[in-house]
Structure 1
Amino acid sequence: MFKTPLKALLLGSALVVTSFATSFSAQAQNMHDSWNALLNKHVVAINHNHSTEVNYAAIKREHAQLKTYLDSLTAVTQSEFDAWEKPKQLAFLINAYNAWTVELILTKYPDIKSIKDLGSFFSSPWSKEFVPLLGKTRSLDDIEHGLIRGSGKYNDPRIHFAVNCASIGCPALREEAYTATDLESQLQEQTVRFLSDMTRNMAQENTLSVSSIFKWYGDDFEKGFRGTNTLQQFFLQYSDALKLIPAQQKALKNDDMKVKFLDYNWDLNVRH
């Protein structure tokens, strides 16, 4: 005589669980919507879509929206983060880095010409501990070099074309938020976008001149990502973006091509 009530109880419980899961999924999916909206409105592609400029003045006028987004990131607990799949974690960390970099710029904008102006003789702006994230107050260095690069979980050197240091020499701040669903295509697009920029990566005869990013973080490109164990092998995967002719590809493969690292432009990536 208990069969019908029990069935009803189980059905009701299932509906509650399903409803909660759907709600949680939607909440997670929409987590970066406000950041996405700010990027859509105030980040503009330049240089044939290879770079972007940021309208910091406009974002400052909408600072409340940015602060609300940052507060939503702070609200995520370590246990919640640990339960996510890796693409969702990585998208979260990249967005956090980029959004808090913008927040850092706004603390002194328009009275700065470079993010380096926010540092001091004794410390860099990237070592400032001002980011409340995953239960600790962290620096931008903590996010990039600790949570992303140092965790050993992601092993994807393309993150260097996604995190943005608010500088002209840096790969473009993407005009949309990173998401778990689109992360792979977004990272790939950012990599091609940067490598195909001949003002920052260019092959001439037997010399490949590339961004200093590859000097600073060269080891990240030699850890077996998609079978690449050397910087040259990574470049060969993007021969089309770098516009390498067959002779240059052969020279690069045989380690007969000189790799030169260009000076980095630390001027603010601001749209006037």
Structure 2
Amino acid sequence: MATSCIPGRVTVYSVPGCPHCLQAKATLGALGLPVCDVDVSHDAGLRAQLKKLTGSSTVPQIFFNDVHVGRNEQLKNLAPEALERLVCMVKKEPVPLRAPPLTAGNSVTSDEGDGGEFKCERNVFADTVEDSKRSGLIGSRRRWLRVHRNSFTGTKLVDWLCSEEGLGKLSQLPLQETGNIKIVQIVMAKKQIAAMTGKRHFDKSNTSFRLLEFDPHAALNSGEMAVCSPTKASELSEALRNLILKLYSDYLSADGKTVDYKSMSQSPCFERYCELAVQLQHVELLSLSREEKLAFFINVYNALVIHGNLRLGFPKNIWQRYRFFNYVSYLIGGEVFTLEDIENGVLRGNRKGVAQLLKPFSKNDPRLQVALPDAEPLIHFALNCGAKGCPPIKTYTPQGIDSQLRIAAEAFLENDDGCMVDSVKGEVKLSQLFKWYKVDFGGTDEKLLNWVADHMGPSQKKLSLKTLLSAGNVKVSYMPYDWTTNSTE
């Protein structure tokens, strides 16, 4: 029977990049049913309505006409005769008026988007930087026993900037007191150059500098000049996130378990993403609110993991993983941030990570200004490390970020690979994430289990855990972590 002739409807409430959502839609598609996919990631009103209807904030939520089936797990566990009855109902009966709404505005949302639309205003320094490369200003310079490549001295920079060739491009800036030091300070403040000695201000004429695009740390978005004017981090993050979600939508397998990284790396969409990631070099970070900071750095972390996997390959052992998370980096707002820096330095309030002897940021590190004042435990259910044991990639926005993170935690704990409760043995098995970051959840077994119970959605599992906690003497153990790559190869 052609789906166009079917009077009923199967409604799947989902978010882009959700593996369980993709699995459910693949199952339903194989049954020849008309699936109405409703993206709830950007509509807080629809999410609230969905929770009222189903009692849960996690996705997917599946309806056959007006009959609520539940999540992907409930769909898979339906008895064959029950599933057959539901399929026959959709194929024979029209959608009743009491069926769930599509959106708050009664129109289906779509995750196609604009593929990362981002309006770029050309930086007034961009032409000057390009001219400097052709002028002979940049070269190699020996300083004591070291050779500074792609560098120039403060004296040469000032002389060139003050020349007719260099200052001509800067004449459009509202400069006052354009003395030698003032000019270089302005160029440094605009995140075009950095002192190779680590100094933050120009104070000596023989200081060595380099353009940010020649970052020696091999950040994945360096080696090319960012031509856009410094922009709000939240705006650029939105465009980057949309591109990554589109890539996952295009190259995630039907069951949501694997990613075709090889094809993804050859796609025009990934090329566009790489071009856009370069603009992270100049974003403004210090003005970010707590909510904007959470959304921005979670999205950037997940995108950087994908970028690292595509460029360097997925780490296959403990040593490669250590190197991957301490090496793969982006140049963001004039500073280098590795994956470890983002997770432990920024999002965990500058706490030591797994196998780290020191905090990521020292007290004089400028990146410390960006770090959250305290660790946010919910980020552990939002960060995706590229392994099958990680939480799925989801959409995060500054608006409602706390509720989005709570939903992510609820979904993680709802699955058995996040938490299992054995009432007979009086044992709770948890993901290794809770062992590695136990300090973020209270530091003791009792506080950890109470945190888990408080962040579970209404379910039999939660009732069982509450009963065990009331009885006392609960045993806590941790399940092996699945480091298997989610690549198709």
- Of 271, 278, 300, the residue aligned with 1:64 is 271
Normalised by the size of structure 2, how large is the TM-score?
A: 0.43
Give the secondary structure class of the aligned counterpart of 1:82.
coil
Q: CA deviation at 1:46?
A: 7.8
Q: Does 1:135 align with 2:334?
A: yes
- Kindly indicate whether the alpha-carbon contact (under 8 Å) linking 2:384 and 2:390 is maintained by their aligned counterparts in 1: yes
- Of 361, 376, 401, the residue aligned with 1:156 is 376
Residue type of the partner of 2:270?
Answer: H
Residue type of the partner of 1:115?
Answer: P
Structure 1: distance between partners of 2:342 and 2:336: 11
Give the RMSD, CA atoms, in angstroms. 3.1
Structure 2: distance between partners of 1:135 and 1:159: 24
Residue type of the partner of 1:132?
Answer: L
Q: Does 1:196 align with 2:414?
A: yes
Give the secondary structure class of the aligned counterpart of 2:286.
helix
Structure 2: distance between partners of 1:218 and 1:179: 26
Residue type of the partner of 1:184?
Answer: D
Stretches of structure 2 lacking an aligned partner (at least 5 in a row): 1-229, 351-370
Q: Runs of 4 or more off by more than 6 Å in structure 1?
A: 24-27
Give the secondary structure class of the aligned counterpart of 2:409.
helix
Alpha-carbon spacing, 1:137–1:256, altered in 2? closer, same or farther (3 Å): same
Structure 2: distance between partners of 1:101 and 1:88: 20
Q: Does 1:35 align with 2:241?
A: yes
Structure 2: distance between partners of 1:233 and 1:188: 15
Structure 2: distance between partners of 1:235 and 1:41: 33
Which protein is richer in helix relative to its size? 1
Alpha-carbon spacing, 1:192–1:52, altered in 2? closer, same or farther (3 Å): farther
Q: Does 1:181 align with 2:399?
A: yes
1:105 corresponds to which residue? 309
- Kindly indicate whether the alpha-carbon contact (under 8 Å) linking 1:158 and 1:191 is maintained by their aligned counterparts in 2: yes
Alpha-carbon spacing, 1:63–1:237, altered in 2? closer, same or farther (3 Å): same
- Kindly indicate whether the alpha-carbon contact (under 8 Å) linking 1:54 and 1:271 is maintained by their aligned counterparts in 2: yes
Q: CA deviation at 1:152?
A: 4.4
What's the CA shift string for 1:208-248, capped at 9, x where partnerless?
A: 1110000000111118xxxxx81011112134467436453
Structure 2: distance between partners of 1:158 and 1:27: 21
Structure 2: distance between partners of 1:97 and 1:87: 16
1:17 corresponds to which residue? none
2:345 corresponds to which residue? 146
Structure 1: distance between partners of 2:240 and 2:481: 31
- Kindly indicate whether the alpha-carbon contact (under 8 Å) linking 1:118 and 1:125 is maintained by their aligned counterparts in 2: no
What's the CA shift string for 1:31-75, capped at 9, x where partnerless?
A: 42242233145245987xxx7643423431232122123223232
Residue type of the partner of 1:165?
Answer: C
Identity of paired residues, percent? 24
Q: Does 1:85 align with 2:289?
A: yes
Give the secondary structure class of the aligned counterpart of 2:477.
strand
Q: Does 1:115 align with 2:115?
A: no
Alpha-carbon spacing, 1:129–1:235, altered in 2? closer, same or farther (3 Å): closer
What's the CA shift string for 1:124-143, capped at 9, x where partnerless?
A: 21111532123222321111
Give the secondary structure class of the aligned counterpart of 1:208.
strand
- Kindly indicate whether the alpha-carbon contact (under 8 Å) linking 2:234 and 2:292 is maintained by their aligned counterparts in 1: no
Give the secondary structure class of the aligned counterpart of 1:132.
strand
Structure 2: distance between partners of 1:107 and 1:58: 13
- Kindly indicate whether the alpha-carbon contact (under 8 Å) linking 1:195 and 1:242 is maintained by their aligned counterparts in 2: no
Alpha-carbon spacing, 1:93–1:246, altered in 2? closer, same or farther (3 Å): closer
Structure 1: distance between partners of 2:278 and 2:458: 38
Give the secondary structure class of the aligned counterpart of 1:230.
helix
Alpha-carbon spacing, 1:120–1:232, altered in 2? closer, same or farther (3 Å): closer
What's the CA shift string for 1:174-231, capped at 9, x where partnerless?
A: 2x3x2111312321221111111113321112111110000000111118xxxxx810
- Kindly indicate whether the alpha-carbon contact (under 8 Å) linking 1:161 and 1:191 is maintained by their aligned counterparts in 2: yes
Structure 2: distance between partners of 1:83 and 1:260: 42
1:75 corresponds to which residue? 282
Structure 1: distance between partners of 2:373 and 2:257: 29
- Kindly indicate whether the alpha-carbon contact (under 8 Å) linking 1:211 and 1:262 is maintained by their aligned counterparts in 2: yes
Q: Does 1:208 align with 2:428?
A: yes
Give the secondary structure class of the aligned counterpart of 1:83.
coil
- Kindly indicate whether the alpha-carbon contact (under 8 Å) linking 2:240 and 2:277 is maintained by their aligned counterparts in 1: no
1:13 corresponds to which residue? none
Structure 2: distance between partners of 1:242 and 1:46: 28
Give the secondary structure class of the aligned counterpart of 1:169.
coil
- Kindly indicate whether the alpha-carbon contact (under 8 Å) linking 2:243 and 2:273 is maintained by their aligned counterparts in 1: no
Structure 1: distance between partners of 2:454 and 2:300: 29
Residue type of the partner of 2:342?
Answer: I
Alpha-carbon spacing, 1:65–1:140, altered in 2? closer, same or farther (3 Å): same
Residue type of the partner of 1:200?
Answer: G
Q: CA deviation at 1:154?
A: 4.8
2:218 corresponds to which residue? none
2:199 corresponds to which residue? none
Normalised by the size of structure 1, how large is the TM-score?
A: 0.73
- Of 465, 472, 475, the residue aligned with 1:248 is 465
Q: Does 1:260 align with 2:477?
A: yes
Q: Does 1:54 align with 2:266?
A: no
Residue type of the partner of 2:435?
Answer: K
